[in-house]
Amino acid sequence: MKDIKACVFDAYGTLFDFNSAVARHRGEIGPQADRLAQMWRDKQIGYTWWRSVMGKYAPFWQVTGEALAHCLRTCGLPHEGALHEKLMQAYLVLDPFSEVRSTLDALHAAEMPLAILSNGNPEMLEAVVRNTRLADYFNALLSVDTVKVFKPDPRVYALVTDHFSVAPTDVCFLSSNGWDAHGAATFGFRTLWVNRAGAAPEGLPGTPAGELRSLGDLPTMILP
């Protein structure tokens, strides 16, 4: 993978730890915190798929809030008011994973064009990269909001090739979501699955070019 022309990252779960939103308020949530964190993520992603099938796109911020309200109710916690608002605001200051900054430093120093391709709407992406002081690394923040459909629709991945004026095979795409990695591989990206949780492979079309447990080894894989 030494002839890459652009390196593109998924945001949530790949660069940013979505569990950190709940972790910030663990004391207030109580013993349901871990359950809530995983349920919220699962429901959030599920809602994007179902809305895509229904043809009922809504911005990711709205989808995230609707998923959270459902999960709070399921956990017997207040689904409106202060806790809901605190958790939503925490999504704008998610913690980057520990190796993210050093990885971006190395890629940026080598003048590799970098971008984020995310379900997140532009306001969410701009806030999280600004609040984590990562904004200067990226040439583009590409959002599904442009095409009004969620991953893994091919129109989402085409945002990258259109922006950089490159072929799919010129792009290294990284995602912690197996289904996203497969979707991107089907589009033609050279895809690396950032399998942080050590999950079993997905039985989906498209085969990722490789698998990482973190982003730490990425520079040596793609830089000349």
Which residues on adjacent β-strands are paired with residue 143? 118
116 and 73, same structural domain?
A: no
Confidence (pTM): 0.95
Report the mean per-residue pLDDT for the chain: 97
In the predicted model, what is the mean pLDDT of residues 87-91? 97
Q: Provide the domain limits for residue 152.
A: 6-16+95-222
In the predicted model, what is the mean pLDDT of residues 1-15? 96
Q: Residues with catalytic annotation?
A: 10
182, 202 Cβ separation under 8 angstroms:
yes
Provide the token pair at 25. 């308020």
In the predicted model, what is the mean pLDDT of residues 40-48? 97
Q: pLDDT at position 80, please?
A: 81
In the predicted model, what is the mean pLDDT of residues 123-142? 98
The percent of residues above 90 in pLDDT, for the chain, comes to: 97
pLDDT above 90: residue 109: yes
- In this structure, which amino acid lies at residue 68? L
Q: Is residue 155 part of a domain?
A: yes
In the predicted model, what is the mean pLDDT of residues 70-80? 91
Provide the token pair at 131. 């609040």
CATH number at residue 112: 3.40.50.1000
For residue 132, give every residue at least 6 positions away whose Cβ sits within 8 Å of its Cβ, in sequence order, or none. Answer: 16, 93, 94, 95, 96
Q: pLDDT at position 81, please?
A: 86
CA angle 110, 111, 116 (to 5 degrees): 110
In the predicted model, what is the mean pLDDT of residues 61-81? 94
At 140, phi and psi to the nearest 5? Answer: -155, 145
The CA distance from 85 to 66, in Å, is 12
68 and 35, same structural domain?
A: yes
Q: Is residue 132 part of a domain?
A: yes
- In this structure, which amino acid lies at residue 151? K
Q: pLDDT at position 21, please?
A: 96
